A and B are shown apart, each in its own frame.
Chain A
Amino acid sequence: MPEHTLQPTPARASYYNISPDQLGMRAADLPALTSVKVSELFPNRYRPVPCDSPENLRQEIRRLTLVALKKINLEKIKPGDSVNILASHHGFSIYGGEAYVEMIKTIRDEVERRSGTGDIRLRAGVGLRFRETEEYIAKFGLKAYFKDKAKGIAPVDKGVAIDTAIGTLYGIAAAYNARWIIHAHNNDIRELHYHRQMGRLFKPFAMSYATIETRSSYHQCMGPRAANLLPRMIYESDFIQDKFLCSCMLQVGPVGIMGVDASEDLVAQDRDFSRLNLEWYGKIITLLSAINSVILIIDYPGPIPYTTAGGILFGNFLNANVDEFDLRKPFTAFTRYTDMLYPDVKPLVENKLPPPNPAIKALILNYCSKGYPSTFFAQQIPTLIVGAQADLFLNDEQNTRFMEFAIKVEQLAKAVAFARKFARTDNILIFDGAAGGFNVSQSLAEEMRQLAPQISQQVDQKLMPMWLRQRGIAPPGARAD
């Protein structure tokens, strides 16, 4: 790896990926690349949890989790009561997953210590790759840690009806088959194009913990902002309120793990985290939106839209030509509501949808997971796919037509050379999960450094006050509307 690039997320052995030995070259090893750190672009007062060694990170996360749980009345749990700790797949992939795992283990131990119950289960949900969480449970030894009471749950599993103020929705029965539930999650900005930072912390109630009708209602029946009402309605149902003990959140930002927070009031906690996420992610996303020409390389063991650079998803870069934080805007370029309207390269409705970020001149898939419907991306963006990765997508039941729109190239370096010719830009941005920054070409690094001061000013003076007001949060030195 060149001296000036950041370490990418390691390749992962998984049913959903090519095997690590099929991966010819990591994008960070391409010649003439460099990196730019988020803290260099936007210095601020927040400091990540030190992670100089895995053991030190685990100790610090355990300490922070215990501090956070002090304000939770775990004594409500009686000896013999059953407790389900609800988790989601994504947490296991954040900065290697060790911090999320340690938070979950600590919750388990503290519940046992303070309540005396031994019936503590882990129920970990998935996205659209139903075996993924079981892979994480095995990788992190959670089955043994939970004394054989840890399992992955999926939206096609047996459901349970939940009566809400807007009608019957469905949860996964195994998520809720306990006297108490603890919502063990994180604030990662992740799918901003879906949650729009409105109820981010509630979302798993309509996703990881829900069956297909509820997840489908979210993506196809409600609207791009209104969909976020569904998890809130489930959370506020009598069924959940009777079981809900607390939430415990791993705090993450673009520069790393930021801490742990627990609360018995998810509404209040979500509001606090909305403000933090706007502070932590607002400038970096706005900076990405100012890049006007770039070749993207995907090189991360996750599905295309969930690959990250500087803590930001490819999915957000695809939408970066629209301010996703601005709640006045209903439709961004890519959501499931817009994907629906593109049977071809042009949408079924004219002049009502923003196009996918026109700054993306080429997309190179060097390494990513199968198991997320992504044909839209190849249909809209010139897409090159490298080596064995193409064969993986050729046999992906969720991308049955993807390879009709993508071109296979045998080597990454050749794909980059080809992309440079037709994209007519030297700007390269790699989505490889590098922590705390971006692996980029020299030209893009310079451009980002030049843009950062004016972006910082724009966010501080104009955008942040608007984003906060739209969420009913008082800007610094002002009163809420």
Chain B
Amino acid sequence: MNSVSKIARIDLDNCNVCPTCIRVCPVEAIALDKSEDKPAPVIDDHRCLACTICMTRCPEQAIHMIDREEPLAFGIDAEQADQEEVAQICRAAHMHPEQIICYCRRTQARDVAAAILLGYRSPEALSLATGIRTGCGVLCITSILRLLDAAGIGVEKAPGWQWYGKYVTIWQLPPEILKKYPEYYLEDDLAAMNQIFPEGE
């Protein structure tokens, strides 16, 4: 299990309810509370994994990080998933099961594949379950989408701006592009990638 010791806090005096924080949160930890006269964003303490993305994108700098009273543990027991199925999903996504796909949390492909098999079916649910994409929030989104695709789970678009669902891989490049742009070593890199990463199914 992993844990975080910080949590985001919103200074409502400076908040203009824009609602950037809600749209960028990778674990959907922030929602608009409309129960009071003046709507306001609220943070679910059980979901915030302290990635700081809301804090650094808040246009009013109304969000800051504080220490939690107790660290919040998160993670899944990947062993509960069928390991052969985990391996199949990874292979179909051109990934080694032990491959690091989130450099910040050092999350491995097998963790995310197992989480998918255990019922987490969206990038946000997978981030909350494994911690993936709660560091930089940028580099690993396509690996999450590729693993979901490999498991046969289609996703269309995030509720906010977190992701839009389409991506490009070298395994999908049209043949005419491979021929048209030889200066980018496309065919050579396809061969190199197939030597380094699993060939898929």
Contacts and interface: CB of A to CB of B under 8 A. Distances in A.
Interface of A: 15, 128-131, 154-159, 161, 165-170, 198-199, 211-217, 219-226, 228-230, 232, 327, 330-331, 336-337, 339-343, 348-349, 352-353, 371-373, 375-376, 395, 397-401, 471-472
A228 B186 CA distance: 10
B56 A129 contact: yes
A165 B172 CA distance: 12
Given A128-B138, A397-B51, A232 B184 contact: yes
Contacts of B167: 167, 213-214, 216-217, 221
B143 A220 contact: yes
Contacts of B108: 343
B106 interface: yes
A402 B98 CA distance: 19
B24 interface: yes
A216 B141 contact: yes
Contact of A330 (B50, B99, B174, B189): B189
B104 A226 contact: no
A330 B168 CA distance: 19
B181 A232 contact: yes
A346 B103 CA distance: 16
B104 A330 contact: no
Interface in B88-146: 96, 98-101, 103-106, 108, 134-143, 145-146
A165 B106 contact: no
Interface stretch (B9-17, B29-37, B77-85, B157-165): B157-165
Most buried by B among A168, A216, A372: A216
A166 B137 CA distance: 24
A72 to B, nearest CB: 26
The 9 closest A-B pairs by CB, nearest first: A223-B189, A373-B103, A226-B189, A330-B192, A130-B56, A216-B142, A221-B169, A225-B185, A128-B136
Given A161-B164, A213-B163, A223 B170 contact: yes
Contacts of B177: 165-166, 229
Contacts of A221: 142, 146, 167-170
B142 A400 contact: no
Contact of B139 (A166, A216, A223, A341): A216
Contact of A397 (B134, B139, B173, B185): B134
Contacts of B169: 217, 221-222
Given A156-B161, A168-B166, A213-B164, A397 B135 contact: yes
B195 A352 contact: yes
Most buried by B among A156, A217, A230: A156
B68 interface: no
Interface residues of B, number: 58
Contacts of B104: 373, 397-400
Interface in B148-201: 161-170, 172-174, 177, 181, 183-186, 188-190, 192-193, 195-196
B46 interface: no
Contacts of B24: 156-157
Given A220-B101, A348-B96, 11 more contacts: A128-B138, A155-B138, A166-B173, A212-B162, A213-B167, A215-B139, A343-B108, A352-B195, A395-B6, A398-B104, A401-B106
Nearest to A347: B196
Given A373-B136, A397-B52, A348 B183 contact: no
A340 B96 CA distance: 9
Contacts of A170: 164, 166
Contacts of A353: 196
A336 B170 contact: no
A220 B51 contact: no
A352 B50 CA distance: 37
A327 B106 contact: no
25 contacts: A130-B53, A155-B138, A166-B173, A213-B164, A213-B165, A214-B167, A217-B168, A217-B169, A220-B139, A220-B142, A221-B167, A221-B169, A221-B170, A223-B189, A223-B190, A232-B181, A330-B188, A340-B103, A341-B96, A342-B100, A343-B99, A397-B52, A398-B103, A399-B135, A400-B135
A212 B103 contact: no
B192 A213 contact: no
B135 A154 contact: no
Most buried by A among B52, B145, B190: B52
A128 B87 CA distance: 31
B162 A156 contact: yes
